[in-house]
Amino acid sequence: MGDEIALGARILAVVAAYEDAITGAGGGAPGTPADAIEDLRMRAGLEFDPMVVEALVALGVEEGWLDRGWAAGSSDAAEAA
């Protein structure tokens, strides 16, 4: 309601930014899933919902495309939220 951004839109924003980062569609060079997540974590709380970013990390670990040890360190923004 009001100024809140719907959950679906927050999820789509994170997924789109992730896809752009790993494919290079956003104008940059294609990156690794870990690099894309690191960038999202740096922008969490500023541009992206920290809880949605960390849910993507959890999914990546569960599905095996992110290393569990690397992904265990959550962003400061996610902890602050």
What's the pLDDT tens digit per position in 11-36? 999 999 999 999 999 788 899 888 99
Average pLDDT of the residues in 38-52: 95
24 residue type, one letter: G
Q: Rounded distance, CA 22 to CA 36, Å?
A: 6
Q: Which residues 6+ apart lie within 8 Å of 11 measured at CB?
A: 52
- The pLDDT score that the predictor gives to residue 66 is 81
54 has pLDDT over 90: yes
Two tokens, residue 81:
């939220």
* pLDDT tens string 59-79: 988 888 887 776 776 544 444
